[in-house]
A = this chain, B = another copy of it.
Amino acid sequence: MAGKEANTASSKGKKKEVKKETGLGLSFKKDENFGEWYSEVVVHGEMIEYYDISGCYILRPWAMSIWEVMQTFFDAEIKKMKIKNCYFPLFVSSGVLEREKDHIEGFAPEVAWVTKSGESELEMPIAIRPTSETVMSREFLWQEGHTSFATKEEADAEVLDILELYRRIYEEFLAVPVIKGKKSEHEKFAGGLYTTTVEAFVPNTGRGVQGATSHCLGQNFAKMFEINFENEKGEKAMVWQNSWAYTTRTIGVMIMVHGDDKGLVLPPKVASIQVIVIPVPYKDADTKGIFDACAATVKSLNESGIRAEADFSDNYSPGWKYSHWEMKGVPLRIEIGPKDYAKNQVRAVRRDNATKHDIPMADLVERVKDMLDNIQQSLFDVAKQKRDACIQVVHTWEEFVEALSQKKMILAPWCDDEFFCTIGEYLGECKGQLRNYDRTRIVKLYLNLSKVCYKSLQLEGRFLFCTLCFASGKPAKKWTYWGRSY
């Protein structure tokens, strides 16, 4: 525990301590052992610290600051939409929880029950307020929105407005490409009318990740709980409800998509340090001059709104510092050595592609700004290229099976037969050769005339009305994405 406390303490910027035990390399490679690589990079990159309770972890400042960037953006946007924040208690009584029985069935086995206060048994146990995604063994931060409207049209419009904000969080901030879509009946939010989603994809594992969901709940809950309002005619009417959420999973997806064998790679927009400045003194060189130049560089960058810091610690070599800040994924490193100092320039090294650039001091701010913009865009472009390379259009069951085994994200025409809603079991029971997949939850989301879908149709050169379902052979109703998921 001492280590944990020490980390907490080191969250104060003023302290000089550098964690020696961090280690400078990763023992696992992203392409070879993705799971172990991920567990290592989140700890060595100082994003989280594991905890002695399963599923719980400490979000360290390096990760928390990313969450805060998204929170600030999203909160300002929903406030423009006149949505207001409130706080609900941590606890919920068993009586109230039971009333939502149908709704909670799925996660009831994992609800955490408080039964004791100090040494006394409680008369009635109380639960830690769960949601459809909360299971006791996984704690995460999330944004949770609930809204209600007089008409379905208003509710429908808001579902998509929020979905667009989620897309922006992934694509504009985290530089992670996502596909907007609608979930199948089988995978929608239980009790809701329909569920929309932004879906990310991790090429290394060939798995889709549900990025964030925006649900129209319809009037089911309004009926159940008599949520009425007085309409313009003075009559009692039932509200239309939406709910929507995203979680710290966003940060996990970002790490999986951009990280490499040197550690984290953070998009500039969410990096709490965008530029790390490192002095590279040499024996006889003017060390003070170099240090002053570093301080001046940080000052200029800060003054123009760039989040820059210098690493002046004298316990570590420049090389150690390079590795340390690469592990933490800082988008741009600036080195100032004797030659740079003499030429009144700095050397900038991009984290995403390791390219090196000499920048005259006179052009510093402008060039760094450009480079950060370029890194942000480039991370997205590269990720999109990799993701797109994994998308495969299939028309037959055989193509589908083959594509799945090649970790593809599959786009296929589908009959939307309810039978296939349980395709997971279907694969296991009816197709012996697919046993590998039978315990894997299969993600499917289908797009109605969305851009991606339309483009795929164009590429295929034929239209939906003359297309058959890849699985049943019946006329297809929708183009649908399929794949393994987390």
Q: B-contacting residues of A (Cβ < 8 Å)?
A: 1-2, 5-6, 8-18, 51-53, 56-61, 64-65, 67-68, 82-93, 95-96, 99, 108-120, 125-126, 128, 136-137, 139, 141, 146-150, 154, 221-222, 225-232, 234, 239, 241, 272, 314-315
Report whether B52 and A93 are in contact in the complex, using a CB–CB cutoff of 8 Å: yes
Q: How far is the CA of A91 from the CA of B230 in the complex (A)?
A: 43
**CA–CA, A90 and B2, complex, Å:** 19
A and B contact pairs by CB, cutoff 8 A, 6 listed: A5-B221, A16-B229, A18-B230, A64-B84, A109-B118, A113-B118
**CB-nearest residue of chain B relative to A239?**
B9
B9 adjacent to A148 (CB under 8 Å) = yes
Which B residues touch A118, using CB under 8 A?
108-111, 113
Query: In the complex, which residue of chain B has the Cβ closest to the Cβ of A119?
Result: B109
Q: How far is the CA of A260 from the CA of B139 in the complex (A)?
A: 42
A60-B86, A86-B64 known; A52-B96 Cβ under 8 A: yes
Instruction: Kindly provide the distance from the CB of A477 to the nearest chain B CB, expressed in whole angstroms.
Output: 34
Q: How far is the CB of A312 from chain B (nearest CB, A)?
A: 11
Are A225 and B154 interface neighbours, CB within 8 A?
no
Beta-carbon nearest neighbor of A60 in chain B:
B86
How far apart are A307's CB and chain B's nearest CB, in angstroms?
11
- In the bound assembly, the distance between CA atoms of A115 and B136 in angstroms comes to 12
Shortest beta-carbon distance, A444 to chain B, in Å? 28
Specify which of B52, B91, B108, B150 is in contact with A95 (CB 8 Å cutoff).
B52
Is A15 within 8 A of B56, CB to CB?
A: no
Do A230 and B16 contact each other (CB < 8 Å), given the known contacts A118-B108, A125-B116? yes
Known A-B contacts A2-B225, A61-B86, A225-B2; the reply to A115 vs B116 at CB < 8 A is yes
Q: Which residue of B is nearest A242, CB measured?
A: B12
Question: Are the CB atoms of A84 and B65 closer together than 8 Å?
Answer: yes
Complex CA gap A125/B116 in Å reads 10
A51 to chain B, nearest CB (A): 5
Residue of B nearest to A67 (CB): B87
Q: Contacts A2-B227, A61-B85, A111-B118 given: A56-B14 contact, CB under 8 Å? A: no
CA distance A18 to B229 in the complex (A): 8
A14 interface neighbour in B109, B141, B154, B272, Cβ under 8 Å: B154
Given contacts A16-B150, A118-B111, A149-B14, contact A88 B58 (CB under 8 A): yes
Verify A146–B86 contact, CB threshold 8 A: no
State A65–B83 Cα separation when bound (angstroms): 11
Bound CA–CA A144/B13 (angstroms): 17
Best-surrounded residue of A14, A86, A314 (most CB of chain B within 10 A): A86
By a CB distance below 8 angstroms, the chain B residues around A58 are: 86-89
CB contact between A230 and one of B13, B17, B239 (< 8 Å): that residue: B17
B139 touches A89 (CB 8 A): yes
Q: Which residue of B lies closest to A100 (CB)?
A: B1
Q: How far is the CB of A126 from chain B (nearest CB, A)?
A: 6
A12-B147, A13-B83 as given contacts; A56 in contact with B91, CB under 8 Å: yes
Expressed in whole angstroms, the Cα–Cα distance for A16 and B92 within the complex equals: 29
Q: How far is the CB of A1 from chain B (nearest CB, A)?
A: 6
On chain B, the residues within 8 Å of A137 by CB distance are: 117
A155 → chain B, closest Cβ, in Å?
Answer: 10
Ranked nearest first, the 4 interchain pairs of A and B with the lowest CB-CB distance are: A13-B82, A61-B84, A56-B89, A109-B118
Q: How far is the CB of A418 from chain B (nearest CB, A)?
A: 30
Q: Say whether B114 contacts A128, CB under 8 Å.
A: yes
| Chain B positions within 8 Å of A314 at CB level | 232
Q: How far is the CB of A159 from chain B (nearest CB, A)?
A: 14
Give bound CA distance, A58 to B146, whole Å.
15
